[in-house]
Amino acid sequence: MMSDRVPPGVSAAVPNVARMYDYYLGGKDNFASDREAAEKVLSIIPEIRGDARNSRAFLQRAVRHLRQEGVDQYLDIGSGLPTAGHVHEVIEGAKVVYVDNDSVVLTHSRALLGHSPDVTVQEGDLRRPEAVVERAAQVLDFSRPVALLVVSLLHFVTDEEDPVGIVHRYRDLLPAGSHLVLTHVAPDTMPSKADDVSAVYRNATSPFTARRRSVFEALMEGFDLLEPGIVNTREWRPDRDTDPSPIQGDYHLCAVGRKPA
Q: How far apart are CA 259 and CA 176, in angstroms?
A: 5
Q: How far apart are CA 153 and CA 171, in angstroms?
A: 17
Q: Which residue has the higher pLDDT, 114 or 182?
A: 182
Cβ-contact 198, 158 below 8 angstroms? no
Smallest CA-to-CA distance from 255 within 59, 12, 50, 79 is with 59
Please report how the helices 32-44 and 194-201 are oriented relative to each other, as an axis angle in degrees rounded to 10: 170
List pLDDT tens digits, range 203-237. Answer: 998 999 999 999 999 999 999 999 999 999 999 99
Give the architecture-level CATH label for domain 48-192+209-258.
3-Layer(aba) Sandwich (3.40)
List pLDDT tens digits, range 75-128. Answer: 999 887 766 567 888 898 899 999 998 777 777 777 766 667 788 999 999 999
Burial of residue 3, with CB atoms counted within 10 A of its CB: 0-12 exposed, 13-18 middle, 19 or more buried:
exposed
- pLDDT, average across residues 34-45: 94
pTM for this model (two decimals): 0.90
Measured CA to CA in angstroms, residue 213 lies from 3, 45, 56, 91, 209 at distances of 40, 20, 20, 30, 13
In eight-state DSSP terms, residue 72 is -
